């Protein structure tokens, strides 16, 4: 098992290292994240994470789901970050890509999967996310 060095961050109140693996899907698991929508989604996620001082460690957008490995300030919270990403991306992608409007009543499901990254070394989780594009 490989070792990894934990880097701590600070927000002036809390010193933290909170990394999360998040997965979410379009409604009905439709293959709508294609033909440029996938690239635009990555841009939107990057922008939201920059605005919230969250660090993307790994990201993979598949036609029917998204994997994100991200470090988030615990006082901001992973739920708030996912809510911002899903809300903004739904609005923008549905405006810019017609098939995101016509094939779905809303872009995302209300649910998502989240797991703290602690039991497995970060490199293992990064490797898993990277391998998802070949599945």
| φ and ψ of 29, to 5 deg | 55, 35
112 an active-site residue? no
User: What separation, in Å, do the N-terminal and C-terminal C-alpha atoms of the chain show?
Assistant: 24
- What Rg, from alpha-carbon coordinates, does the chain have? 15
CA distance 107 to 93: 8
Exposure string (b/e) for 99-127, b if CB count within 10 Å is 16 or more? Answer: ebeeebeebbeeebeeeebeeeebeebbe
Cα(86)–Cα(68) distance, integer angstroms = 12
Of 4, 8, 112, 128, which residue is the catalytic one?
128
β-sheet bridge partners, residue 113? 23
For the annotated catalytic residues, the residue numbers are 128
């Amino acid at each position: 098992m490989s070792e990894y060095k934990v880097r701590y961050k600070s927000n002036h109140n809390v010193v933290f290292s909170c990394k999360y693996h998040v997965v979410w899907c379009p409604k009905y698991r439709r293959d709508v994240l294609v033909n440029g929508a996938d690239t635009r989604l990555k841009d939107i996620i990057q922008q939201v994470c920059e605005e919230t001082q969250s660090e993307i460690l790994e990201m993979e957008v598949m036609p029917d789901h998204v994997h994100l490995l991200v470090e988030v300030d615990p006082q901001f919270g992973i739920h708030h970050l996912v809510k911002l990403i899903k809300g903004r991306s739904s609005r923008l992608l549905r405006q810019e890509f017609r098939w995101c409007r016509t094939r779905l009543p809303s872009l995302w499901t209300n649910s998502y999967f989240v797991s703290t990254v602690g039991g497995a070394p970060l490199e293992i989780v990064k490797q898993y996310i990277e391998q998802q594009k070949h599945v």
